[in-house]
A and B are shown apart, each in its own frame.
Chain A
Amino acid sequence: MRSLFKREPLVLDDGVAPGEPLIELRDIYKIYVMGDEEVRANDGITLTIRKGEFVAIVGKSGSGKSTLMNIIGALDTPTHGEYILAGEDTSEMTDDELSEVRNNRIGFIFQQYNLLMKLNLLENVELPLLYKGYGKQEREQKAMEALKRVGLDGKWRNTPHQLSGGQQQRVSIARALCAKPSIILADEPTGALDSRTSREVLGLIKELNEEGNTIVMITHDASIAMYSKRVVEIVDGKIVFDGDVNAYADHRKLQDSN
């Protein structure tokens, strides 16, 4: 009877047991050379994220959090250091290999949703499955399942234009989910939404975490970080805080009072 009421969670079986390390960043440096000047966007970051965690990476603009997100999301490779994702070292991978890692391991949720405006919702959601090489039937079934999870299966024929911002973000969540990635990587997921819709979207992300998904959320907003379980704060390319969300709240209070 239970299955009637509780949805089957959309979580990938990637061989990593809950609580085991999924993301291992070892002494990551990302250095840009601009003329004579050297900019260290990431300046020796070491971080382990375990399966099932919900981690918020907080930092002001220019702190290096976006660079870190690009590395975690396999969109970029570090200048030095090792990045091991689900047991695979990605630091020396080629462009095509990174594409494959992104396709298999990572579900992106972007601030600007990044949906393809000319495709309908179903076609948008099934894109990662298309690049996995799945057949039409399997794609549509899985994509529909993911749309159902975010409550938009009834609108699958619509194009993103016909949707509100919150709905569009839910479509992008469905897209992130449908290929059952190892991590869901959310980059300022509420950056373009009003506060009520933001709460809805964050609630949904929290639910996905409770179902067993590993979530890494990048944000500049400390109050949004409070939805997570663990907070990593970055200043000038270095980790200055890493701990439980409650401890972070205390840390913030302490800083504010100073």
Chain B
Amino acid sequence: MLMPITESFKIAIRSIRSNKMRSFLTMLGIIIGVAAVIILVSVVNGYMSTILESFTSMGVDRVNVSVSNMSSRSLDPDDMYEFFDERYDLFENMTPSVSVNMPLKNGNETMSETSIGGYSEDYIDIVDYDIQYGRSISYADCEAEQNVAVLGYYTALELFDNADEAVGQCIKIGNNSFTVIGVMERQDEDELEEGGTDDFVWLPYSSAAKMNFSRNISSYILTLRDTDQADEATAAIESFLLEIFKSDDYFNVMANSSLLDEMNEQIAMLSMMLGGIAGISLLVAGVGVMNIMLVSVTERTKEIGIRKALGAKKGVIMQQFVIEAAVTSSLGGVLGIIVGALGTSLVGGAIGINATATFMAVVVSFSVSVGIGLLFGYMPASRAAQLNPIDALRTD
């Protein structure tokens, strides 16, 4: 009859408890290893998802089109609109995008950081902003090339003392004067700054193009109905543009979602790399376990001798030491998970990102730590089991 395994567990737990310092030091390696894996992987994940989030707010459903207009071949906005209407199944919104490089005057001063652009009535939906005062750009404004402007909250505050007083006033861009028809809701809750998200002027794209002395527009933004159709949509635009330009050297179509895919790939690679580095620390912890277990076998040669003399077989001694290693490393693993989870929120809080311990990091680091505990516990255990009871009894 063999001794039941529960007894081996009891012996192992008693041995861990009666050597608290040694057990703790063994566990320390595992605790640090597991915590390091969890913190590194989780913080990187948290950081990446923060980046992704801001990327998403930029619009993953957007497709950016830019063309190089020439005198011989050029893209007329009306043709682009015609295409858009035809493929209404793929695209939801479209706006031409015209950047204006003329100074915005504030009295005698120039607001050089303010971004000034011409867009269609769809733009407000594309960027998903809300209007605070007045109204946004309309289809009619674009058609009639109206000299109207919508201001960002910061811009309105800078130009006029109160944002609600801006509507109806005039602003000067270069030598042209525009009537303010609306002010957008504040976007950045934390700060209002020059060149920030709240510092902009929107004009009807046609008016902006007129200021640039050009009827052709080289940049468009479209939004997809379904981001899964990004490839199809990109292809549709490309074939449309190819017909006009005859060569794909003169235009570029870029779906943000494809950037996102690329980014996700890079994130996965980065967290795998960091996980690997942290994994090395786990391996070192495993060597620590082996070291302590070897010392423990040497230290307890006499105990092993006594147990063998009283009838313990090799397997039973083996069991005792392997279970001891397994229990030590799993306890260390559990403590490491706790430290790792706490550490993740602490580090996340310190660098200002929302990081939580990822399930994968917890599962992988725990199983690796128990795995190495068993693996590195096995060798000392088999050494212990092989001890000759006579020699073992003779040691002091």
Chain A contacts to B: CB under 8 angstroms: 70, 73, 75-76, 95-96, 99-100, 102-104, 108, 110, 114-116, 118-119, 127-128, 130-133, 175
23 A-B interface contacts by CB (under 8 A): A73-B309, A75-B390, A75-B393, A76-B390, A96-B313, A100-B311, A100-B313, A114-B306, A114-B393, A116-B303, A116-B306, A118-B14, A118-B18, A119-B14, A127-B306, A128-B310, A131-B3, A131-B307, A131-B310, A131-B312, A131-B313, A131-B316, A133-B4
Residue of B309, B311, B313 most packed against chain A (CB within 10 A) = B311
Residue of B2, B3, B310, B314 most packed against chain A (CB within 10 A) = B310
Q: What range describes how many residues of B lie at the interface?
A: 20 to 34
In the assembled complex, the Cα of A127 lies from the Cα of B317 at a distance in Å of 13
**B interface SS class:** helix
Contacts of B312 in A (CB 8 A): 99, 131
Contacts of A75 in B (CB 8 A): 309, 389-390, 393
Interface residue? B70 (CB, 8 A): no
Contacts of B309 in A (CB 8 A): 73, 75, 102, 108, 114
Query: Are A131 and B390 in contact, with the CB atoms below 8 A?
Result: no
A62 to B: closest C-beta gap in Å: 15
Chain B window 77-110, contacts with chain A (Cβ cutoff 8 Å), 1 for yes, 0 for no:
0000000000000000000000000000000000
Contacts of B14 in A (CB 8 A): 118-119
B215 to A: closest C-beta gap in Å: 93
Interface residue? B7 (CB, 8 A): yes
Interface residue? B62 (CB, 8 A): no
Query: Are A99 and B308 in contact, with the CB atoms below 8 A?
Result: yes
Residue of B7, B303, B305, B309 most packed against chain A (CB within 10 A) = B309
Q: Which residue of B lies closest to A105 (CB)?
A: B311
Query: Are B306 and A70 in contact, with the CB atoms below 8 A?
Result: no
Contacts of A95 in B (CB 8 A): 313-314
Q: Which residue of B lies closest to A115 (CB)?
A: B306
Q: A96-B313, A102-B310 provided; 18 other pairs, C-beta below 8 A?
A: A70-B390, A73-B309, A75-B389, A75-B390, A95-B313, A96-B314, A100-B313, A103-B310, A114-B309, A115-B306, A127-B307, A128-B310, A128-B311, A131-B312, A131-B316, A132-B311, A133-B3, A175-B310
Contacts of B302 in A (CB 8 A): 114
In the assembled complex, the Cα of A70 lies from the Cα of B388 at a distance in Å of 12
Q: Which residue of A lies closest to B386 (CB)?
A: A95
In the assembled complex, the Cα of A95 lies from the Cα of B309 at a distance in Å of 11
Residue of A70, A131, A132, A133 most packed against chain B (CB within 10 A) = A131
Q: Which residue of B lies closest to A73 (CB)?
A: B309
**A interface SS class:** helix
Contacts of B4 in A (CB 8 A): 133
In the assembled complex, the Cα of A116 lies from the Cα of B389 at a distance in Å of 15
Contact of A130 among B7, B308, B389 (CB under 8 A): B7
Interface residue? B350 (CB, 8 A): no
A-B pairs with lowest CB-CB distance, top 9: A103-B311, A133-B1, A131-B311, A118-B18, A99-B313, A96-B313, A128-B310, A114-B306, A127-B310
Contacts of A128 in B (CB 8 A): 310-311
Contacts of A76 in B (CB 8 A): 390
Chain B window 1-31, contacts with chain A (Cβ cutoff 8 Å), 1 for yes, 0 for no:
1111001000000110010000000000000
In the assembled complex, the Cα of A118 lies from the Cα of B393 at a distance in Å of 17
Q: A116-B303, A127-B307 are in contact. Are A132 and B1 (CB under 8 A)?
A: yes
Contacts of A108 in B (CB 8 A): 309-310
Contacts of A118 in B (CB 8 A): 14-15, 18
In the assembled complex, the Cα of A127 lies from the Cα of B390 at a distance in Å of 18
Q: Which of B281-337 contact A (CB under 8 A)?
A: 302-303, 305-316
In the assembled complex, the Cα of A245 lies from the Cα of B308 at a distance in Å of 33
In the assembled complex, the Cα of A112 lies from the Cα of B18 at a distance in Å of 22
In the assembled complex, the Cα of A136 lies from the Cα of B160 at a distance in Å of 88
Contacts of B306 in A (CB 8 A): 114-116, 127
B345 to A: closest C-beta gap in Å: 39
Query: Are B310 and A133 in contact, with the CB atoms below 8 A?
Result: no
In the assembled complex, the Cα of A99 lies from the Cα of B317 at a distance in Å of 12
Contacts of A99 in B (CB 8 A): 308, 311-314
In the assembled complex, the Cα of A130 lies from the Cα of B2 at a distance in Å of 9
A245 to B: closest C-beta gap in Å: 28
Chain B window 23-42, contacts with chain A (Cβ cutoff 8 Å), 1 for yes, 0 for no:
00000000000000000000
Contacts of B315 in A (CB 8 A): 96
Contacts of A132 in B (CB 8 A): 1, 311
B274 to A: closest C-beta gap in Å: 42
